[in-house]
Chains A and B, each alone.
Chain A
Amino acid sequence: MSTLTSLAQLQAVASGVAQPLATVRHCHLAEAPLVMVPLKLAGEAAAPLAVMLGSDPGSPTLLVVPQPRNRDQRFAFAADLARVALKYIESSRGQVEELPPGKEGEERIRYSDAPQLLVPNRGGVAFLRMLGRSTRFRRTDGPYAVEPSVPVLGRWLTWFTDRYDHPGSCLLLTMTETLRLHWATGQSALEDGNLAALVGWIDPPEGLTGPQAAALAEDPLATPPAGPTTDPGFDNEVLAPAVAAYDAARGPARDRAEERVRAVLETQLAPTWELMWRAVGLLRGLPEGASVPQRWERDRDSFTYFHQTFGEAYPQARRDSPVRAAKRLHDMERAQDAYDAQRAFDDPLVMAEHRLNGLAFGGEVTGCDPTRKDESGKRPKLRPHVWVRTGDPVRLDPGTTVCSAANPKIKGTVVEIGPDGAVLVELTGGMGRKLTPEPGTVPQVGDRVVFTSLTLGSFGPSRFPDKENTPWTHGGPPADYEPTDDDAAEDWS
């Protein structure tokens, strides 16, 4: 949060409708994402109740567990879910792109597309994580056998939820967080967690203001919660009797009772399903940010690798080994830095945050010496001078390296900052190799420019020891993981 987003919230309060926090869309949005709205049984760690999913808004698939406490029914549910989800994953690979061979001459490929899962909120991700954890160690033979697709689903869900933790990844997105990245509402973060209220602020229905739409969304009877937790009133008054009737029914009556459970759960899921697609439409209304394809490429790399090595790999360990954990943390920190910087370069509204903090400044070019040369060394160097008049609070010291927000390749150094907001920048790179700048690189008098000390950064490879050389400070080399029968026999009650 910052003064900028807080101000946007105030403007939302005053105008009764959400205000933009971004001018472009900062996430990839698949042509046909797999929207999933899961529900779980209250009080249980990962007892699925129902899920509505699909990539066509007009024809969702509804999967239901009529007696959520029944272990066999849960695994049957997992198998059904696997059928739909795995088919979607396999169908979203696209073409195989050949890449230049790697350092050791190995073949490298990348799929031209990747699957994208959309869930309503963080709770949805947590549920998928638990579902993945509870299914990936299952065995397909022996005393607790499950359908072969169940552990496969578990491994994929685990992979999706791991990627969710990776800043900038778009393989699994939550709708509330994605919308909040792009709009500020006149309510608190807590209330923004309610998808219906959030969408109500962003796109209030005809004749309603944002706050009116959000108020409607808070009535669980009018707007069922977006899951995965159900409304306790619904549990007590509708679901519990329906499940009890199913338990009591025998013969053909049982099918009717199951149909009843399905029907009541559908009433809880359908409104959120509609909302999810409305939200997808809202996001599609924004043009894609310039660096989004680059981040999606990393997602495709990750997908390609996981898909290619799936057959020879074990299920993901319960806990990361020390080396893996350190590497993962390091990767995530880098990804976060890169994601933050890329968003700022893509979007002037995000860059405005940095201008407010003094790490960037923008204004009009008041003077320019485009062919100035530094002749102090052996050979003259092209070092144009640009004076920028800005009203921003510049907090950069002379000597700081900056680059142009519009074209980060153009680099320079802050030379001096005048008392009247005049900043002198000496350009050092990005203007071509000659002693006269390439046309269009050096800003002209009257141009509006923004310079920032942010960098898109390029990092060398990170170095971590092999697993076998895990230092004693981190417990020494861990034991190899071998799946055991214990894993498969784990209770799921």
Chain B
Amino acid sequence: MSMTAPDLDRLRGVAAPRNHDARTIAALTANPGCARRGVMDAAGVDKDAVARHLGFGVPFGQSQFAITRGNTFEAQVKADGCAELLTLLRDRLGLEVPEVAYDDLGAVGDNEGREVRHARTRKLVQRALETGEGTLFDHPLLRLDIAGRPAYLEPDVIAFQLGGRFHIVEIKSFAVIDGQAEADQVAAAARQSAVYVLALRRLVAELGHDPVEKVAHEVFLVCPENFSNRPTATPVDIRPQLAVLERQLARLTRVDTIVAQLPEEITFDLGEALEEAVRTVEARYAPECMSSCEMAFFCRAEARACGATGALGRSVRDDLGGVDSVETALALAEGVLEPSEDLAETAEQLRLAARLRREALAGVA
């Protein structure tokens, strides 16, 4: 059964489709088994608006102080045709960058389509591969197939070409202090960069070149050094992230099979039927969703309402031998529910844990 675009457009309703970016794709791989998220993302549904409409808006935005800081730093690094960036690449990383050409592939006009921009990126990449022309390509527009649908990526990164080989340069405003940065932030940056590397490799492969040879797995992370505004560049090997990404994208719940099983009339239009529509598509909530999905608060409330152990965390669910319901787990622990054969071991462990807790707590009373 193949999916047709109108199916997804109908699901989205009247709203315009939302774009994927590296952040959403990287996040997508964090919970590949979630059908709700898969369908909504594939259809380009504005999940933030949906969550708000359902009364579960995500209460946080970004602080203007952080935005200002990020923008200032990026502007500084890119000023004068990326002068600071080139100094870094030459001095800090010892790269022999012979000549410099800077191409900004950002939108020229308001109404310039993504296809047009992607075509331009494609042309310049092709030229670079064949002739070695061009050094820095700012705002390339890349494309990546997500669950059978093309997603356009508008990375705030620079593709840096040296000797016919591309590197992704990502500018981030978190500080590197004494050669170390916060692990979470580096990990997030690496996951995002992996998306760009993958998209660029796919493009290179489409153009008939060897993707692994032509696109480096080493990306350059440009961050402020210590407590200053001075940039520093650090090479980061993103092979592990790339492997995870490729594996997860491959096994990403195939959206078309899910869509095929949905009722015909279902739509995510912001109306009275929205909640029912959302509930029709099964979610797989885990606390990690809170940091990556706009629907998290809605799904959490849903998971809690039906007493799902997963709402307490994946490790809790694992400790309980995969028992999904709080009520069932407690009934097994108290011995009031006779376990099925496959749960016998889990039930025994729970009963033992319950007895040990009782004994230990009775000692104090």
Q: Are A318 and B350 closer than 8 Å at their CB atoms? A: no
Binds A, one of B35-43, B198-206, B222-230, B266-274: B222-230
Q: Is A175 an interface residue (CB 8 A)?
A: no
Can you list 18 A-B contacts with CB-CB less than 8 angstroms, sorted by A residue number?
Answer: A2-B319, A7-B350, A7-B354, A10-B312, A14-B330, A23-B363, A126-B182, A133-B178, A232-B63, A236-B64, A349-B357, A352-B357, A355-B356, A356-B353, A362-B359, A391-B355, A490-B226, A491-B227
* Interchain CA distance A491-B231 in the complex, whole Å: 12
Q: Is B161 an interface residue (CB 8 A)?
A: no
Binds A, one of B17-25, B66-74, B128-136, B146-154: B66-74
* Interchain CA distance A164-B256 in the complex, whole Å: 51
Most chain A CB within a 10 A radius of its CB, from B61, B226, B355: B226
* Interchain CA distance A434-B178 in the complex, whole Å: 62
- One digit per residue, 1 when the CB lies within 8 angstroms of any chain A CB and 0 when it does not, for chain B 331-365 equals 00100000000000000011011111101110110
B38-83 with Cβ < 8 A to chain A? 59-70
Within the complex, the shortest CB–CB distance from B284 to chain A, in Å, comes to 15
List 5 A-B pairs, minimum CB-CB distance, nearest first: A43-B66, A491-B228, A45-B175, A43-B69, A42-B63
Within the complex, the shortest CB–CB distance from A370 to chain B, in Å, comes to 24
Q: Are A8 and B228 closer than 8 Å at their CB atoms? A: no
Given A134, A231, A235, A349, which contacts B64 in the complex, CB threshold below 8 Å? Answer: A235
- One digit per residue, 1 when the CB lies within 8 angstroms of any chain B CB and 0 when it does not, for chain A 212-250 equals 000000111000000000111101100110000000000
Q: Is B320 an interface residue (CB 8 A)?
A: yes
* Interchain CA distance A349-B353 in the complex, whole Å: 11
Number of A-B contacts (CB under 8 A): 155
Q: Are A236 and B61 closer than 8 Å at their CB atoms? A: yes
Given B229, B313, B320, B364, which contacts A190 in the complex, CB threshold below 8 Å? Answer: B313
Please name the residue on chain A nearest to B223 by beta carbon: A45
Q: Are B62 and A356 closer than 8 Å at their CB atoms? A: no
Q: Are B173 and A20 closer than 8 Å at their CB atoms? A: no
A349 / chain B contacts, CB cutoff of 8 Å: 357, 360-361
Q: Are B61 and A232 closer than 8 Å at their CB atoms? A: yes
* Interchain CA distance A10-B307 in the complex, whole Å: 10
* Interchain CA distance A298-B190 in the complex, whole Å: 40
* Interchain CA distance A45-B227 in the complex, whole Å: 7
Please name the residue on chain A nearest to B355 by beta carbon: A391
* Interchain CA distance A187-B290 in the complex, whole Å: 13
A1-44 with Cβ < 8 A to chain B? 1-11, 13-14, 20, 23, 41-44
Q: Is A351 an interface residue (CB 8 A)?
A: yes
8 more contacts with CB within 8 A, not counting A391-B355, A493-B229, are A9-B312, A10-B326, A43-B63, A45-B175, A133-B177, A349-B360, A356-B353, A490-B227
Within the complex, the shortest CB–CB distance from B347 to chain A, in Å, comes to 11
Given B226, B287, B326, which contacts A188 in the complex, CB threshold below 8 Å? Answer: B287
Q: Is A130 an interface residue (CB 8 A)?
A: yes
State the majority secondary structure of interface residues on B.
helix
Q: Are B65 and A240 closer than 8 Å at their CB atoms? A: yes
Q: Are A134 and B227 closer than 8 Å at their CB atoms? A: yes
Q: Are A45 and B290 closer than 8 Å at their CB atoms? A: no
* Interchain CA distance A3-B361 in the complex, whole Å: 16
Q: Is B315 an interface residue (CB 8 A)?
A: yes
* Interchain CA distance A220-B65 in the complex, whole Å: 18
Q: Are B319 and A235 closer than 8 Å at their CB atoms? A: no
Within the complex, the shortest CB–CB distance from B349 to chain A, in Å, comes to 5
Within the complex, the shortest CB–CB distance from B202 to chain A, in Å, comes to 33
Q: Are A43 and B70 closer than 8 Å at their CB atoms? A: yes
Within the complex, the shortest CB–CB distance from A59 to chain B, in Å, comes to 30
A230 / chain B contacts, CB cutoff of 8 Å: 63
* Interchain CA distance A349-B358 in the complex, whole Å: 9
Q: Is B31 an interface residue (CB 8 A)?
A: no
- One digit per residue, 1 when the CB lies within 8 angstroms of any chain B CB and 0 when it does not, for chain A 355-373 equals 1100000100000000000
Q: Are A189 and B313 closer than 8 Å at their CB atoms? A: yes
Q: Is A384 an interface residue (CB 8 A)?
A: no
Within the complex, the shortest CB–CB distance from A211 to chain B, in Å, comes to 8
Given A6, A189, A239, A352, which contacts B356 in the complex, CB threshold below 8 Å? Answer: A352
B107 / chain A contacts, CB cutoff of 8 Å: none
B168 / chain A contacts, CB cutoff of 8 Å: none
Please name the residue on chain A nearest to B181 by beta carbon: A45
A220 / chain B contacts, CB cutoff of 8 Å: 59-60
A9 / chain B contacts, CB cutoff of 8 Å: 312, 316
Q: Is B311 an interface residue (CB 8 A)?
A: yes
Q: Is B174 an interface residue (CB 8 A)?
A: yes
